[in-house]
Amino acid sequence: MASQVSPGIVLKERDLSNAVIVGAQQITAGFASTFRKGPIDQIVNINSQKQFIEVFGKPTDANAEDWFVASEFLNYGGRLAVVRAAT
């Protein structure tokens, strides 16, 4: 372990790409974007990638970056409270 003479920040990098999140079903995040379909300005609780695609559709060129962030969060077992924003 590194020691410091004065206050500071110690950075440690850990690869958690294969980690299993314990209690992930209790983690809920909020997410908003312009999706292709789905209810506008209403909170929809999403529990899986399949449900996400059924409700909000597949990614488009306009929302691909946002769509994949939400999809990957669901891939790790979390839940999303999703809102489709009007364009």
Confidence of residue 76 (pLDDT cuts 50, 70, 90): confident
3-state helix, strand, coil in the chain (%, to 5): 25, 20, 55
Reported as a single tens digit per residue, the pLDDT across 27-70 is 788 999 888 899 998 999 998 889 999 999 999 888 899 899 99
Per-residue pLDDT, 53: 92
Confidence of residue 21 (pLDDT cuts 50, 70, 90): low
Angle at 31 between CA 30 and CA 37, to 5 degrees: 135
> What average pLDDT score do residues 5-24 get?
72
